[in-house]
Structure 1
Amino acid sequence: MRSWRTSEVGALSRAYAWLVVKLRLLVVLGWAAGIVAAVAWLPGSAPDAGLNGFAPPNSRAIATETASAKAFGFPILSRTVIVQRDAHGLSQPAQQRVVERAVAVAKGTAGDVGPIAGVIPVANTKGVFPSSSEQGTTALTYVFTKPGTSFVEEVAAAGRFANEHMNQPDDHVVGVTGTVPAQLAQSEILYGHLPLLEGATLLVIIGLVAFRFRSIVAPLVALVTAAASYFLAVRVTDYVGGFVQGGVPEQLKPLVLALVLGIVTDYAIFFLSSMRTGLDDGLDRLTAAKMSAAQTGRIVLVAGIAVAAGTASMLVARSGFFRAFGPVLSLSVLTAVAVSVTLLPALLAIFGRALFWPTRRAKADRSAPVARAAARLLTVRVVALVLAGACVVGLAVLGTGADRLRLGVSFVAALPSDSQPQSAARAAASGFAPGIVAPTELLLQGRDVGSDPQKLARLGSELQHQPGVAGVVSPSALPDELAHDALVTRSGDAARFLVILEHDPLDATAISDVEHLSLSLPGLLQRAGIEGAHYGLAGDTAVAGELVAATNADLRRIAIAVLVVNLILLMVFLRAVVAPVLLLGCSVLALAASLGCLSLVFQDRLGHDGVAFYVPFAASVLLLSLGSDYNIYGVGHVWTRADHTPLRKAIAERIPETSGAITAAGVTLAASFAMLALVPLRQFRELAFVMGLGVLIDALVVRSVLVPALLTLLGRFSAWPRRLRGAAVTRPPARRPSTAPDPGT
């Protein structure tokens, strides 16, 4: 029997282990009291960032939209649209009523329309909208509400208007669509599926931990710790969210769930594995718990700090949407770590051998001899070279697809096909073009810029022939009585055009088309003979383009910050330079492979125009941080052992022990992220795929094969400038030749 004091840990780790085991009952009661206090004093929800959270700071598109509304006295862009459609053709009375309703609202004779300030009708009647894909089948009513109206109130008012004023049999109302209704529909789907996501994730945790330890009690300990961590993390982050400017993006809520439950279960597996080893070595309940806490607690603490510091690096982003990711995810991880390093050892000490009931003693793992033989084989330099080369080449090939990722900001396209905003958007696209739901506005301002109809007509024609443009509503295309005030000011100092795109206005292709249009505008204005005019683009596509550009810039800043933070933590923990650089390089390679597979599956195979703009962003930060998590656990054990034995022997001894725990933890964490696919929104399925695959690549390929192989190839140089005490232990000195006769002669 060995004493836990002889384990390869320091005095501080032993003191922590002794304290948490000694006060085990107080620890459990303390966290129970903490949960009660959180219920009493911390909020159960946080302000949501809403649509405004997606706008980049100092948005030129939003400034242009504001200038347009100020110059004309009213906006021309609406984000809530009522769609009517009959594939066989809307009747003439139905089309006439579309205009009459708008006039009634303008004159105030439509009755109580709530917060609706005005509506603008557009029908694909012959000659009115020449670029329509059909004629006489579809009518749109763009809804404008009074200042201060919330999104919920706006969509509700549009729904009531449709029910009360479009209730004739031949009106054929399809529904309400647009950016705002789609955003609210996503919120409803998200919150509606959150209980299912929570329940399914907890069941997965129970099943995987039960399978790993062949126990009924062990998964319950993991479940209690994970549930407590998640509950407290949500309460803490909701409280902090009240101080985050613009609110907290609701897309974070499922991500917090998957991250917290996943990493806490990982930590539970690490603690339980160490506890079972101690019990099987003959240690008593309390001594085994102390040994588990001393050996695993410091690794879990440093690993958790690495993840928290990596996510906190998002604070260097300029976009408020991404800056909210940093404190929320970081505080969630820190809360989970605080619970894990105290509650888990306390529960281990309380339950002891009962943790692994009904298994009295760990059965001999039939695969253990194979794992040990494979680890020894891995320390053969030729084998290590072949395996390392194969891993690097394979991951690099998969990573080539990462450069082809396109970013979009789709709200409508991300919804299930049977949702009302999606159905209404398809109907509008069939009657006009996909971009009709959210047109792009071109605003011209300057002295007499709108006084020459011929120049405006030439500019409209030039716009019509730009790539990705389905149609243009220009001042010259409308009668003078409609063009004036709506598209040209009375003074002639401002004019505006509506550009209808051929693609979903928030998809990657449409964003690229508007970017091309923006770059082409100086030449288009020159060819039209319009000189000295200030111009700007407004609308959802223009805002999305700015957001994608800001995301790419933020991603570079965040990547540098995350890499530096994780590199410093690895250097401090491992007290080395070469190995941390090597480990971080492996993490980057695994991340590139994951993003390449994301592009291959969703863009090449499923035909999506792009992926949600924040999916590669969140995946990059989390996978790099979680890679350091596994680095610290796996290499930390090897390093500790290498202070007592040669490095190759330490690798051969520790890799079989740690790879099993890392594999189980990786599968559990991957399954936790995979549960995000239960939310029927495209961005969560993209996130579920890339995070689940990324964690599996990291756990099964990088940490179990590539890292040990590279450490074998580099040998003691990997620890530079640290000197591993065990590295000096080499083969025994060769014996001097004996002069005695050979017994066989």
Structure 2
Amino acid sequence: MDILLERMGRWVAGRRTKWVTLVAWIVLAGVLSAVWPGVNQKEDNTAANLDSLQPSVQAGLLSEEEFPSDSGLPALLVWKRDGGLLDEDYENIQKLTAYFTQNPLEGQELVVPFDRIPLPALKQQASEDGTAIVLPFFFNKNIDSDLLKQGIAQIQEQVKTDFGSDPFAAKLDDHGELSVRVSGPAGVSLDAVGLFSNADVSLLMATVLLVLVLLLLIYRSPILAIIPLIAVGFAYGVTSPILGKMADMGWITFDSQSISIMTVLLFGAGTDYCLFLISRFRQLLMEEKDKSKALVRAFRDSSGAIAMSGFTVVMALLVLLFAKYGSVHRFAVPFSLSILIMGIASLTLVPALLAIFGRVSFYPLVPRTPEMAAERARKKGKANISKSHKKSGGRVGRVVTKRPWLIVIVTLVILGGFAGNALRIEYTVDILSSFPEDSPSREGFAVIADKFTPGELAPVKLMVDTQGKEVPLEKTFSELPFVSKVSEITQGKNNNEINAIDIEFNLNPYSNEAMKHIPDIRNAAVQVLKDAGVTSPEERVWVGGLTSTQFDTEATNARDQQVIIPIVIGLIAILLLAYLRSVVAMIYLILTVVLSYFSALGLGWFVIHDIMGATAIQGLIPLYAFVFLVALGEDYNIFLISSIWKKRKSMPLKQAIQEGVTETGGVITSAGLILAGTFAVLATLPIQVLVQFGLICAIGVLLDTFVVRPLLVPAITMLLGRWAFWPGTVEGKTEISQHSYHKQKQLK
């Protein structure tokens, strides 16, 4: 294997072939970008997240078939004027509805005809204090996000024309001034797309700047800081058109959120893989005068761990294909493909660039052998001063091998304490809570909740098959304590035995409390059908609406966690077993990263809840964080254990652990800081789901970097001794004592 890796290293970084490698990447990225669409051109933010078997989806399909007039996507224009709406306001609103009734927008299905309602009757539609009114527009349920955005923009322009001012720009708390906000499902959808699309450019710029600054601070070399960014840039340049082409052919679907996180993953994990090779190259340049030989040795020593680490992440991310929830399922291909291509770039393009720049890559702190340093100092007339960069790593290695029991107990207590806090976490699938407080849809919802009832924003649509029998739906559901309003019964367009009512909650329809009432509504409907003598009532009830959708989302997410987490753990276990050939090592390496994951959740909840004041975290975050933290955390374990395993073949275990921790300490710490930093960039965005995801992942990476990798894993390895390798053996070597090793070293 070493011979094969050396040959590969000589090929990608040879005197002539290094240029071939570089040109190949330039041509590949250029040609693909020229002939295939980029990933941003093919994003689809309207893709369904729930499959057709979910009850809320089936209810939606039935609603479209039997009640098409109100099955569109509602955009609620929420008007407000402190002190009371003026007659002029009502007249202008009527003028607005008349205009769009006669000149419907593309994708518009219906606008409530306020222009046909007499002014006194229209005033009855306003809030009790007369300060607010809601004007609904209905759009096609499957309308494209860009088309919806254009439609709302046209409404805004017409409002300016009819009103002679811009109520959309007015602040809600401006006394006496008319304001309007777009809320409801269409407003929420529009804000979600806008937040993610606006985040793309700022996220990319912030991530590049952060990685560049960290690399400059760590290595203090401008050339070296640029090399990983070049590799990431080429990897993105190849990944983007491939994903765009796959989406164009209908093979995959992705949205703005997946593209944003993919960008972070590329820069964070991609830079890590580059640093694994760069760090080893730097070490060998202090021992080997010939830069080409040093690079080939560095490739041989690090490529196995890089390939294994990358493959582990790729396979773990592909497991997301087993998810039923759409946004999670859609992560699988973009994430795994980007890491695969980045891994290839780390093992081809990065060695080629290092071969081209050579020792100059590290300028001005150029690594040299002792002889080269002495000669250079002699020529300059200066004393040769050599600073060791291994002191801190060496101290950690000695402490870990000297007091392993203390290290294990202390780290387990700390990590266990953090993990215990994860039991306190509250979860939510309320999308509004993830928006900034000044987003239009959230401000509009606040007005509805204050002036009307919050349930008006997203009513539940209950449909039942009465089989022609008299069923008292209005009376039954009006008496429920969590219901504020029930509409009149309507009959189906094609089947008049299907009756429907709209149910408005007296609480936030997006809240966990409202979701818990979805089974209550279903059970009440089944019971009233049963009392009326309807046969098989359980099969004749459909509950639709956003609250029902969220209920199914929560159930689907729970199912995905139960399926995906065991598969990821089992897959990583198989890969570790194949790579390390040790059952014992496989077990404790997996257990440590799982403990780190729960610790990150617990500590993250402390920051998000107790410090930042959030009442809950988004329900999808635990699954996202698990796949990322377990896969990426195992990277560092693989790199550390690979070093210890190799050194164990020629020295006692204690010495191998000390030198392994020392050798990998700097690069893993640097890589961990960069990866944590890129995740932390997500916390600067105005989207709470990304803020929470970024914070938890950043905390998890830091725990892996500064606790699990340098302390817990080597301490456990030290305590287990020979059993750490069971049932594998160290080929061709017998156990030698520490004393014998040092004696042999002195003789050499």
TM-score tier by shorter-chain length is 0.7 to 0.9
Hey, what's the Cα distance between the residues in 2 that align with 1:386 and 1:652? 16
Deviations 1:111-133 (A, max 9, x none): 4555433224799x999999998
Q: Which residue does 2:570 correspond to in 1?
A: 564
Contact 1:82 1:158 in 2 (8 A): no
- Deviation, 1:548, is 1.7
Q: CA, structure 1 residues 670+496, in 2 after alignment: closer, same or farther (shift >3 Å)?
A: same
Residue number in structure 1 paired with 2:62: 67
Aligned CA distance change for structure 1 residues 491 and 235 (closer, same or farther; 3 Å):
closer
Contact 1:395 1:593 (8 Å CA) reproduced: yes
CA contact (8 A) 1:174 1:423 kept: no
What percentage of residue pairs aligned between the two structures are identical?
A: 24
Cα contact 1:716–1:724 (8 A) shared by 2: no
CA contact (8 A) 1:116 1:146 kept: yes
Match of 1:139 in 2: 133
Report the equivalent of 2:10.
18
Q: Which one-letter code corresponds to 2:405 in the other structure?
A: L
Please report how far the alpha carbon of residue 163 of structure 1 lies from its aligned counterpart in structure 2 after TM superposition.
4.9
* 2:82 equivalent in structure 1: 87
Q: CA deviation at 1:189?
A: 3.0
Q: Tell me if structure 2 keeps the 8 A contact 1:265–1:665.
A: yes
User: How far off is 1:521 after superposition?
Assistant: 4.7
- 1:654–1:663 CA distance, 2 compared to 1 (3 A): same
* Native 8 Å contact 2:325 2:556 kept in 1: yes
- Mapped to 2, the partners of 1:518 and 1:660 lie a distance apart of 59
Alpha-carbon displacement from aligned partner over 1:126-158 (angstroms, at most 9, x marks no partner)? 999999985433221222235764343345334
Shift of 1:244: 5.2
Q: For residues 609-638 of structure 1, give each alpha carbon's deviation from its aligned partner in whole angstroms, at most 9, with x where no partner exists.
A: 433333222211111111221111111110
Cα pair 1:507 1:609 within 8 Å, conserved: no
Alignment of 1:182-193 (within 5 A): 182-193=188-199
Is the contact between residue 670 and residue 696 of structure 1 (CA under 8 Å) also seen in structure 2? yes
Alignment of 1:343-422 (within 5 A): 343-361=349-367, 364-365=386-387, 368-380=390-402, 383-422=403-442
Q: Is the 8 A contact 1:200 1:675 kept in 2?
A: yes
What amino acid does structure 2 have at the position aligned with 1:42?
A: W
Distance in 1 between residues matched to 2:534 and 2:595, nearest whole Å: 51
Correspondence for 1:473: 486
Change (3 A) 1:319 1:186: closer
Q: CA deviation at 1:515?
A: 4.5
Which residue is 1:626 aligned to?
632
Distance 1:404 1:488, change over 3 A: farther
- Report the AA paired with residue 505 of structure 1: P
Closer/same/farther in 2, CA of residues 262 and 365 from structure 1, 3 Å limit:
farther
Q: Secondary structure at the match of 1:51?
A: coil
> 1:432-475, CA deviations, whole angstroms, 9 ceiling, x for partnerless residues?
233322222122221245x46xx334313333x03xx4x12232
When normalised by structure 2's length, the TM-score is 0.86
**Residue 730 of structure 1: which of 734, 737, 741 is its match?**
737
In the alignment, the residues of structure 1 paired with residue 619 and residue 74 of structure 2 have an alpha-carbon distance, to the nearest angstrom, of 20
What is the Cα deviation at residue 532 of structure 1?
6.4
Q: Which runs of 5+ in 1 are unaligned?
A: 1-8, 476-482, 734-745
Structure 2 residue aligned with 1:249: 255
| Corresponding residue of 2:473 | 456
Residue 403 to residue 51, structure 1, CA distance change in 2 (3 Å): farther
How far 1:315 moved relative to its partner? 1.3
CA contact (8 A) 2:204 2:263 kept: yes
Q: Are the equivalent residues in 1 in contact too, given 2:51–2:57 (CA < 8 A)? A: no
Aligned to 1:706, the other structure's residue is in SS state helix
User: 2:321 aligned with 1:286, yes or no?
Assistant: no
Query: Secondary structure at the residue paired with 1:639?
Result: helix
Q: What SS does the corresponding residue of 1:329 show, helix, strand or coil?
A: helix
Structure 2 residue matching 1:58: 3-state secondary structure: coil
Residues 1:551 and 1:417: Cα distance change in structure 2 (over 3 Å): same
Which among 487, 493, 499 is matched to residue 497 of structure 2? 493
Q: Check whether the contact 2:396–2:661 (CA below 8 A) recurs between aligned residues.
A: no
Supply the AA of the counterpart residue of 1:63.
Q
State which drifts further: 622-631 or 79-88. Answer: 79-88
Q: Is the 8 A contact 1:579 1:719 kept in 2?
A: yes
Q: Distance in 2 between matches of 1:424 and 1:714?
A: 61
Question: Please, which of 265, 269, 272 is the counterpart of residue 278 of structure 2?
Answer: 272
SS of the residue 2:637 aligns to:
helix
SS in 1 for 2:182: strand
Instruction: Letter of the 1:20 partner, please give it.
Output: V
The answer to whether the 8 A contact 1:155-1:181 is kept is no
Letter in 2 for 1:64: A
2:37 pairs, out of 43, 49, 65, with 43
Size of the aligned set, in residue pairs, is: 703
1:603-622 residue pairs with structure 2 within 5 A? 603-622=609-628
**Cα 1:210–1:164, aligned 2, differ >3 Å: closer, same or farther?**
closer
Change in Cα spacing, 1:373 to 1:408, as seen in structure 2 (3 Å) is closer
Secondary structure, counterpart of 1:80 in structure 2: strand
* CA positional deviation for 1:599: 2.9
Counterparts of 1:500-519 in structure 2, within 5 Å, are 500-519=504-523
CA pair 361-117 structure 1, distance change in 2 beyond 3 A: closer
- Output the CA distance in 2 between the equivalents of 1:666 and 1:162: 47
Write the deviation string for residues 248-283 of structure 1: whole angstroms up to 9, x where unpaired.
122111111111111221122222211111111143
Quickly say closer, same or farther: Cα 1:694–1:100, change in 2 above 3 A: same
SS in 1 for 2:199: helix
Checking the alignment, whether the CA contact within 8 Å between 1:90 and 1:171 is kept in structure 2 is no
1:275-354 matches, cutoff 5 A: 275-354=281-360
Q: In structure 2, which of residues 40, 43, 47 is the aligned counterpart of residue 52 of structure 1?
A: 47
Conservation of the 8 A alpha-carbon contact between 2:125 and 2:133 = no
Partner of residue 702 from structure 1, selected from 708, 711, 716:
708
Q: 1:491 Cα shift?
A: 8.4
Amino acid at match of 2:351: P
Q: Secondary structure at the match of 2:365?
A: coil
* 2:32 equivalent to 1:34: no
Q: Is the 8 A contact 1:623 1:694 kept in 2?
A: yes
- Structure 2 CA distance, aligned partners of 1:438 and 1:559? 33
Equivalent position amino acid for 2:185 in 1: T
Q: Which moved more, 1:218-227 or 1:650-659?
A: 218-227
Q: Deviations over 1:137-192 (max 9, x none)?
A: 32212222357643433453345346536934899351222233332333233233
1:579 CA drift (Å): 0.3
| Amino acid in the other structure paired with 1:164 | Q
> Contact 2:145/2:193 (CA < 8 Å) preserved in 1?
no
Counterpart contact for 2:435–2:442, Cα < 8 Å = yes
Q: Which residue of structure 2 aligns with residue 591 of structure 1?
A: 597
Aligned: 1:118 with 2:124: no
Moved more, 238-247 or 281-290: 238-247
Which residue of 1 is the match for residue 218 of structure 2? 212
- Contact 1:300/1:337 (8 A) holds in 2: yes
Is 1:691 matched with 2:697? yes
- Structure 2 residues without counterparts, runs of 5 or longer: 165-175, 369-384, 741-748
| Deviation (angstroms), 1:98 | 6.0
What is the CA–CA distance in structure 2 between the aligned matches of 1:615 and 1:267, rounded to whole Å? 25
TM-score (norm: length of structure 1): 0.86
Tell me the C-alpha RMSD between the 2 structures. Answer: 3.2
Q: CA deviation at 1:96?
A: 7.6
Does structure 2 retain, via aligned residues, the 8 Å contact 1:132–1:433?
no
- State how far apart, in whole Å, the 2-side matches of 1:56 and 1:385 are: 51
Q: Structure 1 residue 295: deviation in Å?
A: 0.7
Offset at 1:94?
4.6
Partner of 2:744: none
Distance of aligned partners of 1:97 and 1:39 in 2 relative to their CA distance in 1, 3 Å threshold: closer
Letter of the 2:81 partner, please give it.
Answer: D
Structure 2 counterpart of 1:742:
none
Equivalent position amino acid for 1:460 in 2: F
Deviation at 1:331, TM superposition (A): 0.5
Query: Counterpart of 1:79 in 2: which secondary structure?
Result: strand
The whole-number CA distance in structure 1 between the counterparts of 2:71 and 2:452 is: 18
